[in-house]
């Protein structure tokens, strides 16, 4: 497997910039030689994680951080919004949350440096 450093990106918190986060995640997954179906699952999970964060609170930025460890992608998508409480019951019952849970090997709603975040893992089949 290819050895890559951590990758991160930050974009404005608007739906049209979610595509940038999707492409960053897909690019890293492809570089790690994940099968195409897993690359698409990572891409979709990032989309839904960002959608969840955008739906929960007003924010000015969305961030993604991707780490690789032992054939697993660790992905954190976060915003600078301030939903209280986090995670909310609404977030836990939302369609985006169900999709991310279904596409990930491990997932949780958390805080990243105090900011709401969706953290998930995707293990490579290779």
Write out pLDDT tens, residues 41-99.
Answer: 999 999 999 999 999 989 999 999 999 888 899 999 999 999 889 999 999 999 999 99
Does 114 score more than 90 pLDDT?
no
What percentage of the chain reaches a pLDDT higher than 90? 83
Average pLDDT, the chain: 94
- Decide: pTM greater than 0.75: yes
In the chain the domains, ranked by start, together with CATH numbers, are 7-123 (3.30.565.10)
pLDDT at 2 over 70: no
Measured distance CA(94)–CA(22) in Å, rounded = 20
How does 39-48 read in b/e, with b if 16+ C-beta sit within 10 Å?
bebbbbbbbb
Exposure letters 79-117 (e unless 16+ CB within 10 A, then b): bbbebeebbeeebeebebbebbbebbeebebeeeeebbb
pLDDT at position 3: 66
Tell me, what's the pLDDT at 45?
Answer: 98
Distances (CA, A) of 51 to 3, 59, 77, 95: 30, 12, 10, 10
pLDDT (average), residues 24-38: 94
Tell me the two tokens of residue 71.
């054939």
Note the pLDDT of residue 69: 81
Alpha-carbon gap, residue 23 to 10, rounded angstroms: 13
**Around 115, how many Cα atoms within 13 Å sit in the side-chain half-sphere?**
20
């Amino acid at each position: 497997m290819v050895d890559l450093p951590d990758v991160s990106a930050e974009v404005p918190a608007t739906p049209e910039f979610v595509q940038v986060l999707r492409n960053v995640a897909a690019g890293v997954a492809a570089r790690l030689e994940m099968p195409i179906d897993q690359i698409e699952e990572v891409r979709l999970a990032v989309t839904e994680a960002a959608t969840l964060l955008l739906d929960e609170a007003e924010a000015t930025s969305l961030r993604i951080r991707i780490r690789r460890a032992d054939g697993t992608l660790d992905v954190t998508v976060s915003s600078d919004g301030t939903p209280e409480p986090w995670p909310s019951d609404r977030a836990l019952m939302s369609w985006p949350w169900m999709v991310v849970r279904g596409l990930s090997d491990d997932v949780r709603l958390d805080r990243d440096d105090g900011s709401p975040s969706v953290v998930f893992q995707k293990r490579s089949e290779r």
